[in-house]
Amino acid sequence: MTGDILFLCHRIPFPPDRGDKIRSYHLLKRLAAIAPVHVGCFGDDDRDMGYAGELAQVAASQCLLRRDRSKVVAGLTGLAKRQSLLVSLFDHPGLHQWVAQTLAQRPVRAVVAYSAQMAHFVPTLASNVRFLMDFVDFDSAKYAAYGAEGSGPMAWINRREGRVLLDFERAIAQRADACTFVSEAEAALFRAACGLGADRIVALENGVALDYFNPAAAFPAIDHGTGPLLVFTGQMDYRPNVEAVESFARQTLPAIQTVHPHARFAIVGRNPAKAVEALADLPGVIVTGGVPDVRGWLAAADVVVAPLRIARGIQNKVLEAMAMARPVVASPQAAEGIDATDGAEFLVAANPAEEAAKVIALLADPARAARLGVAARERMEARYRWSATLAGLPDLLFGCDAGSQAA
């Protein structure tokens, strides 16, 4: 079978500097090695829109649209249509039109939708066109968890979103030839929720750019300063990240500072929410905002922490820190889905008290911390190269005809 690929993603895959863009970037690069790829996606801001040239270097054709629908409009529209608010937020008549034109004018033989909010752009397809739905994470379960733990209007909205989005995910899974998730744990949860088997719901794991996230690579160093440095990296307007750093800064760090009074906690990532910015007033807390190169902060860290309480899939921040040969202390939620051993390649801590105890133990034993970091790097090299994690993509796209498509 010969033909092109249509790839739909909710954010332009450039630059690959946040979790969703990292995966979509590497997917796009692999797809482009298989067949010509036509890319439809959104830009959130002027920075995103400025990467149209980079996208054009990879895509055979493209449609990059500025996402300008407000959350209020999306919410009201979603409620009126009994539609998922996430899906409503990512809607645009121009993209629907471009998809229809591309399918009519190009020899498309496979459609890949990245994230649930892009699935509604996939129309009924011809019988010779395969549909791969990359859900990435089990998003409806995340909203259901928010609703279960909260109260008031937002809890009601999250519970509704969990229900409506789950119905949408199930319907899309029935249409798709295959559905992928970022880890086997996520795939298994969705199989149980939708009733489909392992022939239709599979894991397509994230990897890590090992040449880039390499302690031996050339990158700007940062001033380590005085006292132990603990580092968290991530997009800092994302709710699970916000809650994670609030918990660590307010509960875990003070316990560590009883033993190491000069310990510092650096929160490294773009667009810090007001709640995150406020943490900079606490003793020892540093809020950097966006940085040109996160590797300097990872390399300087005595310990990298990932204390997420709600997390889906595989956490890129953990893979990147391990690739940089840093000792990592992660919550069970952040560690879930990563094929590594607690105590040998990273440490898992279930609550602030355990986090503090394990960080303090690592700071007291630098040799053990170094061994943990070396083992982490070795595990990433053995298991998480993108070329290895995406090796099965041609088969998912074209089934028994994958051999003629693979590059």
**What are the pLDDT digits (tens) for 197-229?**
999 999 999 999 999 999 999 999 998 788 999
Rounded mean pLDDT, 95-111: 97
Cα Rg for the chain, rounded, in angstroms?
Answer: 21
Torsion angle in degrees (nearest 10) through CA of 115, 117, 120, 122: -30
Least-confidence region, from 120-129, 151-160, 252-261: 151-160
The confidence score (pLDDT) of residue 334 equals 95
Confidence of residue 314 (pLDDT cuts 50, 70, 90): confident
The confidence score (pLDDT) of residue 406 equals 46
Beta carbons of 332 and 399 less than 8 angstroms apart: no
Least-confidence region, from 38-42, 81-85, 236-240, 268-272: 81-85
- The CATH number corresponding to 229-384 among 3.40.50.300, 3.40.50.620, 3.40.50.10490, 3.40.50.2000 equals 3.40.50.2000
- Give the residue among 38, 34, 35 at the shortest CA–CA distance from 56: 38
Task: Please check the confidence at residue 72 and state whether its pLDDT lies above 80.
Answer: no
Give strand pairing partners of 286.
266
End-to-end CA distance of the chain: 14
The confidence score (pLDDT) of residue 74 equals 67
Confidence of residue 313 (pLDDT cuts 50, 70, 90): confident
d(CA 328, CA 347): 6
**What are the pLDDT digits (tens) for 234-277?**
999 999 999 999 999 999 999 999 999 999 999 999 999 999 99
- The CATH number corresponding to 4-207+387-398 among 3.20.20.140, 3.40.50.2000, 3.40.50.150, 3.50.30.10 equals 3.40.50.2000
Rounded mean pLDDT, 9-20: 92
d(CA 144, CA 1): 41
Q: Give percent of the chain above pLDDT 90.
A: 84
| Three-state secondary structure call for residue 112 | strand
- Give the residue among 381, 378, 367, 208 at the shortest CA–CA distance from 294: 208
**What are the pLDDT digits (tens) for 293-310?**
999 999 999 999 999 998
- Output DSSP code: residue 251: I
Beta carbons of 233 and 298 less than 8 angstroms apart: yes
Beta carbons of 267 and 276 less than 8 angstroms apart: yes
Q: State the burial class of residue 362 (Cβ atoms within 10 Å of its Cβ: 0-12, 13-18, 19+).
A: buried
The confidence score (pLDDT) of residue 327 equals 98
User: Which residues belong to CATH 3.40.50.2000 in the chain?
Assistant: 4-207+387-398, 229-384
Q: Where do we find the tokens 């007291």? A: 364
